[in-house]
Amino acid sequence: MLRKYNLLVLILLLVVTSLAIGCSSQPASQPSLAPSSAPAPVSGAPTQDILQTNLLEFDAWEAKMAGEINLDYYVIDLRSPAESQLEKSIEGSINIDANETLAKGNVSIINEKLSTVPEDAIILLHCKSGGRVKANLAKFVEAGYSNVYGLNGWTAFDAKGYIGAAKINANTEHIKPDAWVAKMSGEIGKDYFIIDTRNKIDHETGYIKGAINLGAAETFTVDHSATMVIVEQTIPNKDSVILVHCNAGTKARVTQAHLKAEGYKNVFVLDNRMVIDKGGNYTFE
């Protein structure tokens, strides 16, 4: 009986030892795991900085307007209807008020407005100064349109089909009263020029003596070419200092874009409200 018990204990010891050795030993080889691949890019997302490749200066942007609008290419105007009414627009362009739609998260407006436009069509974006183009260019690519190009510049249009653009630095060319008055050095009409862009009725209520009255809404945006003939006769030197004002600055900016699009280099907008009395005395508000 004792012999059988000892034999059973021996067998159990052998089994336990065998199991211990098996658990502590490592397998001869382990199959290596391949490194995980990077996640695939999201379909439809831009793969590079779209502003580096598709934001164009005026000459390159205009060159893409080859053929017939709304057939060979499409123009999207991102300004407000009020801006388009004052400044005029490209005939046939599609208006999307970026501030009231895209800036508030309504990106579905893109596909709604462009429902009949092929996704590979040439689409040309512009706004007033280029800011809304930069803010929204990628949204058109994300919406599925592959040939979208934005204009990097301040636009100038008229009712006769003129299209122009200019580079304007608002930080240095839209100036406050002290800086604007400081440029009134010397003799008006010789050392510097002032263009009053208010309409004739407002101009006649009071104006700075020697100022040229060219109401933006009655001249530049109606017939750019005819207006520039007047400007070039009065101010032949395109390096001249030109100070532009209206009541608060809106029309002055329109005029500035037209002048700079034609090569005038030193055009400064009064970025402030100004009131002028019958005697030509002015105050800033």
Spatial separation of the C-alpha atoms in residues 268 and 261, rounded to whole Å: 14
> The tokens 């991102």 sit on which residue?
78
Average pLDDT over all residues of the chain = 89
Residue 231's pLDDT band, with cuts at 50, 70 and 90, is very high
Nearest to 141 by CA among 103, 110, 109, 102: 110
Model confidence pLDDT, tens digit, residues 31-58 = 443 443 444 444 444 445 899 999 999 9
pLDDT tops 60 at residue 272: yes
Q: For the residues 215-222, what does the mean pLDDT come to? A: 98
On whether the CB atoms of residues 119 and 125 are closer than 8 A, the answer is no
Predicted pLDDT of residue 48 = 53
Residue 28's pLDDT band, with cuts at 50, 70 and 90, is very low
Model confidence pLDDT, tens digit, residues 71-114 = 999 999 999 999 999 999 999 999 999 999 999 999 999 999 99
Domain 50-152 identical in fold to domain 170-284? yes
Is the pLDDT higher at 17 or at 267?
267
Q: Residue 53: what are its φ and ψ, rounded to 5°?
A: -110, -30
pLDDT tops 50 at residue 255: yes
Predicted pLDDT of residue 119 = 97
Spatial separation of the C-alpha atoms in residues 131 and 133, rounded to whole Å: 5
Spatial separation of the C-alpha atoms in residues 75 and 138, rounded to whole Å: 16
Predicted pLDDT of residue 40 = 42
pLDDT tops 90 at residue 173: yes
pLDDT tops 50 at residue 260: yes
> The tokens 């919406």 sit on which residue?
143
Predicted pLDDT of residue 23 = 35
Q: For the residues 202-209, what does the mean pLDDT come to? A: 98
pTM recorded for the entire structure:
0.83
CATH 3.40.250.10 fits domain 170-284 = yes
On whether the CB atoms of residues 174 and 161 are closer than 8 A, the answer is no
Predicted pLDDT of residue 15 = 43
Residue 7's pLDDT band, with cuts at 50, 70 and 90, is very low
- 72 has which bridge partners? none
Q: Could you give the percent of the chain with pLDDT greater than 70?
A: 83
Model confidence pLDDT, tens digit, residues 175-198 = 999 999 999 999 999 999 999 999
One CATH from 3.40.250.10, 3.20.20.80, 1.10.260.40, 2.70.98.60 for 50-152: 3.40.250.10
DSSP-derived secondary structure for the chain: -HHHHHHHHHHHHHHHHHHHHHHHSPPS--PPPPPPPPPPPPTTS-SS-HHHHSEE-HHHHHHT--S-BTTTBEEEE-S-HHHHHHH---TTPEE--TTTTGGGT-THHHHHHTTTS-TTSEEEEE-SSSHHHHHHHHHHHHTT-SEEEEE-SEEEE-TT--EEEE---HHHHEE-HHHHHHT--S-BTTTBEEEE-S-HHHHHT---TT-EE--TTTTTTT-HHHHHHHHHHH---TTSEEEEE-SSSHHHHHHHHHHHHTT--EEEEE-S-EEE-TTS-EEE-
Domain boundaries, the chain: 50-152, 170-284
